[in-house]
Structure formats: C-alpha cells, structure tokens
Amino acid sequence: MRFVDLIARKRDGLSLTAAELQSIVAGVVDGTLPDYQVAAFLMAVYFRGMSPAELATWADSMLRSGIVLDLSDIPGIKVDKHSTGGVGDKISLILAPLVAAAGVPVPMISGRGLGHTGGTLDKLEAIPGFNTQLDIETFRRLVRELRCGLIGQTAEIAPADRKLYALRDVTATVECIPLIASSIMSKKLAEGIDALVLDVKFGSGAFMAQLPRARELAQTMVAIGEAAGRKTVALLTDMNQPLGAMIGNSLEVIESCDVLRGGGPADIRELTLALSAEMLVLGGVSATIADARATLVKLLDNGAAFAQFEKIVAAQGGDARALSDYSRLPVATQVVDVVAESDGVVHGFECAEVGRAAMLLGAGRATRDDIVDPGVGLQMHVRIGSHVRRGDLLARAWVSDRSKTDEAFATLRDAIVLGDGPAVAGPLVLERIDASSLAP
Ligand code: URA
C-alpha cells in the first residue's frame, strides 16, 4: 500500500490496520516517509481522529521506536506521575521523594518548561550541582538504591515523538487529543513503569483550558495506558490560579522544601497528597486512599520525605545543604513589589498570563533554545477571593534584569481579574478517571 493511499483512507474517515500504522511510525523514524506526506497524514488525524484500537497501536509503535527501559529486576511496582503542565506546578519535586519514602519506586523522566508553564528539570537544576542528564545505568541504580531517579528525556526514548512533534509544531496539528495523548503516553510508557498517575489540568493556566477537552484528554491517556497493560489513573485538577505562591525555579525549590518538611501552602500539600495517594495504592503499599494519605501525612510531618529528597539530591550531584540553607540557592538580589492599582476582590486569574509574566522575567522559555534564569520569579500574595485595596501587595518579584520588568508587571496586573462581591475558587481535584470510567 502506498502512503498516499493511507493518507486518503484517514482523510475519508476510514480505519488503518495495525500493520499500516506501525509502518507509518517506522517510516517517520527511519526518514523514508517525506515530511510533506507525514504532515498531510497528521492533518487527516487532526480532523478524523483515531479509534481506540488505532490509538493503542499508534502509541505502542511510538514507544517502541526507541529504547524501552526494563526495570523488572528492581523490586516493587514502579509508578510515575505526569502533569500536563501548569503555573507554579512544583508537585513532582515533593511527590517523587515522598512516594519513594513510602516504599514505591518512582522512575521519573521529566521535561523542561516552555511558554507559560514551568518544567521539573529547570526547577531541579536550580539546585547547585544537580545533574538531570544521567545515563540510563546510573538512573537504574538510583531507582534501585533510593527508589527514585529524576532525569530528563534522552534522545533514545520515543524518537518518533520528537520527529512527529516537530512536524506538528509547524503544521497547526499540536492541538489534537489523539496526537497529544499518544505523544505523552509513548514517552511515559517507555520509562519501564508498571503504573501511572496523570494530573490533567483544566482552567486558564492549563494546556487544555476547557474542562470537556481536558476530560477527553484524560480519558484518552487512561485508555492508552490500560491498553498497554499499565494501570493508569487520571485526576482532573484546577489550574485557574497558580499552585502555591512561588513561580520561578529557585523559588519553587524553596516552596517544595517547605512542603517536604510538613509546611508550605495548603493547595500544594493537598494536590501532592491526592496524587501520591493514588501512587501508593497503585504501587501496592496501601490498600485504600485513606490509608495512603495517613502514611503520606506522617512522612511529610516527621521529616522522612525531606530526608529522602536530601539523599536523592546528593546522589545526583546536588548540594543538599541548599535545601535547608536557601542562601545556597541562586536567588536574584533585586526584589520589587507589584502593588494593586485599584480596589476589588480577586475573581480569577488569566493564569497563563501569570506564567508568561514570570517567563518575561527570565524564569521560563519563549522558545526551546532560551536559557532560563533560576533566580528570578514571583511570589503571589493574592488568590481567588482575596480583597485588595489600591496600593496593596499583589506579588513580590525577584528580578535580575530591570529592562524586563515593565512588560512583566503590566502582564501580571492585567492577569489578575478584580471584581465586586465575594469569589471562591473551585475544587482543586474535580474528578478521578480510571479504567472503570471509560466507555466499554
Ligand atoms: N506535551 C507532549 O509531550 N506532547 C504533546 O503533544 C503536547 C504536550
């Protein structure tokens, strides 16, 4: 069958066989399929979608396009967490050592931030010396010895995704649920995990702002995971305001350490507990979510989770003293207050714009090649429902380049939506989706 005929079949809404889909992924990776035809195929998928059977094969072919880690010789059920990305989302820094301290191995392969969202690797690299580019053998040793390793994507994992994503990026086919779901799941399932917890965000700071689309993405990813024989649970979580107060890499390390020592903002602690409890049940160390939460609360409050993080940081070359002595973290020395220009009640946030304000200060990347400044960022002083008067502190900014502050602060002020009368935030965790929630 010629590739043009497969493109035509997908364009006309017909299904492709497993062998046909596998041959397309193989042709993408070995370069025998020209970009213009792959681009046309992706656009056909954008409009016609993929059936669950097609998607399971497609994601499986993508994950097998590179190395698939085999961690089966490491005792325990290996569980990871993936977030679709948000503003102030530092949950992985807390959850990984916490879940490892509870006895569940967490092999975590993370990405960098782009646009308004932050990335776990950038946050970890704010810790002086922390090495996220470990080879696979070292990663495997850390997962065995400390039940946790925290590394970045390598070129060997799911190379099909790299090629397909690059084409999607320039052909307006990124915003396509089957393509997003297979992209995320192919990378996660190649990690050698047995189970996965997904934090799928909705709201003004989420990749999928609309709740129905976020739900569909969650269901699609759970279906791919289950088809691959991995227990997969997704929580739909609110991203209509920043998570916690801190946005920016060193600042988020500080806030994560506060939570790991039993303190920190209530929303960060709550979301970490909700996601981690699912991991403990999937990992077989707790029978129920309530049992898991009790275990996790103890590990946060008695310092065991923090001690586990210190060990992981030291094992990956980082300065573990910086986790207690924050003066060892790179933090910008200029501190500027951003104050309200009018009175009102915070009714909401254009949360992606809050993330963009931090990015403009240098905390994130506008393009993949930008270099982040670990020391800059924002500490939010208002949340949905806060009453503010003209002159009140909205946020404190740590800056290193004053030329960027005017645009960043204007962006931040515009992103805080003031109104009259009271306002309350929606629930942090809205829904839970697992295999039993999927249509038969
Ligand atoms: N993140 C990914 O890894 N892939 C996508 O397609 C979108 C977001």
Question: Which positions are annotated as active-site residues?
Answer: 82, 161, 168, 183, 187
Looking at ligand 1, which atom is closest to the CA of residue 174? 6
Instruction: Output the pLDDT for position 59.
Output: 98
Instruction: Output the pLDDT for position 412.
Output: 98
Q: Could you tell me where the DSSP H helices lie in 320-385?
A: 351-361
- Ligand 1 pocket member 180 (CB < 6 A): yes
Residue 429: burial class (beta carbons within 10 Å; 0-12, 13-18, 19+): middle
Instruction: Output the pLDDT for position 182.
Output: 98
Nearest protein CA to atom 5 of ligand 1, as residue: 180
What is the Cα–Cα distance from 275 to 18, expressed in whole angstroms?
34
What is the Cα–Cα distance from 48 to 375, expressed in whole angstroms?
45
Nearest protein CA to atom 6 of ligand 1, as residue: 180
Predicted confidence (pLDDT) per residue in 367-392, tens digit: 989 999 999 999 999 999 999 999 99
- Ligand 1 pocket member 183 (CB < 6 A): yes
Nearest protein CA to atom 3 of ligand 1, as residue: 184
- Output phi, psi for 263, to 5 deg: -110, -140
Could you identify the residue written with the tokens 């107060």?
245
What is the Cα–Cα distance from 189 to 234, expressed in whole angstroms?
15
pTM confidence score: 0.97
Centre of ligand 1 from the C-alpha of residue 207, in Å? 9
Give the pair of three-digit tokens for residue 204: 């003004």
| Helical (H) or strand (E) element with 338 | strand 334-339
**pLDDT > 90? residue 439:** no
Give Cα 179 distance to the centre of its chain.
17
Centre of ligand 1 from the C-alpha of residue 403, in Å? 32
Q: How confident is the model at residue 145 (pLDDT cuts 50, 70, 90)?
A: very high
Nearest protein CA to atom 1 of ligand 1, as residue: 184
Instruction: Output the pLDDT for position 127.
Output: 98
Predicted confidence (pLDDT) per residue in 179-205, tens digit: 999 999 999 999 999 999 999 999 999
**pLDDT > 90? residue 404:** no
Predicted confidence (pLDDT) per residue in 321-340, tens digit: 999 999 999 999 999 999 99
Nearest protein CA to atom 2 of ligand 1, as residue: 184
Q: How confident is the model at residue 1 (pLDDT cuts 50, 70, 90)?
A: confident
**pLDDT > 90? residue 303:** yes
Looking at ligand 1, which atom is closest to the CA of residue 179? 6
CA proximity to 413, closest of 356, 328, 333: 356
Centre of ligand 1 from the C-alpha of residue 113, in Å? 12
Looking at ligand 1, which atom is closest to the CA of residue 111? 3
Instruction: Output the pLDDT for position 440.
Output: 79
Selected residue with higher pLDDT from 218 and 403: 218
Find the angle CA(40)-CA(8)-CA(167) to the nearest 5 degrees.
Answer: 15
Centre of ligand 1 from the C-alpha of residue 181, in Å? 7
Helix 266-282 × helix 289-301 angle, to 10°? 130
Average pLDDT value for residue range 96-120: 95
Give the pair of three-digit tokens for residue 269: 């602690």
**pLDDT > 90? residue 154:** no
Substitution candidate for ligand 1 out of 174, 191, 213 with most atoms within 8 A of CB = 174
**pLDDT > 90? residue 46:** yes
Please give the single-letter amino acid code of residue 253: V
